[in-house]
Amino acid sequence: MVVSVLAAGLYLRGWTTVSRRMPERFGTGRLVAFMAGIASVILALSPPVDALAPVLLQAHMTQHLLLMIVAPPLLWMGAPVAPMLLGLPKPIRRWVAIALASPPGRWLAGLLASPVVSGAAFFIAFWTWHVPALYDLALRSDLWHHVEHACFFATALLFWRPVILPWPARSAWPRWTMIPYLVLGDLQNSVLAAILTFSDHVIYPAYDAVPRSQGFSALEDQAIAGVIMWVPGSLAFLLPVLWIVATVMVTREPDRMGTAPSHDGQSVGGW
């Protein structure tokens, strides 16, 4: 949570500068979105929620949803690159700028920006950490629990970047390709949610071993976790699909009328 607070401070410091220089691009909405993303991370890692994670699968699943499908898109909607860089002290900012502008830095940034790489990283982290043996390991060890959350959060940031396409990012991929990209994300989410909801046995043995005072069994807790993952999780993937479909249709309308759409470097939808 300390890192989250530091990130919020850096962003706010940089935003106050960049919002004066480019008020049309960095309005209050950017600040609100980024701070809401930070708040989501802090909520997910807060002691009350974190303490319930080893006892209730539904609490642990709520943590994962906050870290994977709530916080990352909100953070990207804040267009954090410019504010975060401007928020750094000048000596550090200079070194970061040099590193990003170097050939290895540009190569790495291009690699991580690829939807193929980001989607694959997201899917691999998702299924790897939901393997029962590794999931139970994360429940038994604070270190591995932090590693699990770091993997989920980092790969989710990669996954959501080409969807939000935060300024000044551009994509070589047509915008409509984000539709199957998001549908595949929802598909894997729904598969695991269905497994948890309809399974006739407890998938993660650690939850069957803890004392229960909540009024429902480990199997019932697992089913509730599956529903939490299924309904809010699917909405988080499918609502952006509807938004992209609508924006793609709007941008194609000028073509049908014989007028070329404008390209001002902004992402579709103003994000």
Q: Over the stretch 156-170, which tens digit does the pLDDT of each residue have?
A: 999 999 999 998 888
Q: Rg for the chain (alpha carbons), in Å?
A: 20
The residue with tokens 């049309």 is 24
Residue 260 has pLDDT above 80, yes or no: no
pTM for the whole structure: 0.86
CA dist 49 and 47 (Å) reads: 6
Helix, strand, coil distribution of the chain in percent, nearest 5 = 80, 0, 20
Domain locations along the chain: 2-89+104-254+266-270
Q: How far from 128 is each of 83, 138, 247, CA to CA, in Å?
A: 34, 12, 34
The pLDDT value recorded for residue 252 is 64
Structure tokens at 118: 């980001």
Residue 263 has pLDDT above 50, yes or no: no
Query: Which 3 state secondary structure label does DSSP give 54?
Result: coil
Give the residue-averaged pLDDT of 214-223: 85
CA dist 53 and 137 (Å) reads: 13
Alpha carbon 245 to chain centroid, angstroms: 21
The pLDDT value recorded for residue 62 is 93
> What is the band of 12 on the pLDDT scale with cuts at 50, 70, 90?
very high
One DSSP character per residue, 99-166 reads HHHSHHHHHHHHHHH-HHHHHHHHHHHHHHHTSHHHHHHHHH-HHHHHHHHHHHHHHHHHHHHHHH--
Give the residue-averaged pLDDT of 237-243: 91
> 230 near 212, Cβ under 8 Å?
no
Long-range contacts (CB closer than 8 Å, 24 or more residues apart) made by 27-32: 30/77, 30/78, 30/79, 30/83, 31/78
CA dist 250 and 271 (Å) reads: 16
> Which residues lie closer than 8 Å to 221 by C-beta, 6 or more apart?
56, 57, 58, 207, 212, 214
> Which residues lie closer than 8 Å to 89 by C-beta, 6 or more apart?
none
Give the residue-averaged pLDDT of 19-34: 91
Residue closest to 155 by CA, chosen among 266, 87, 69: 69
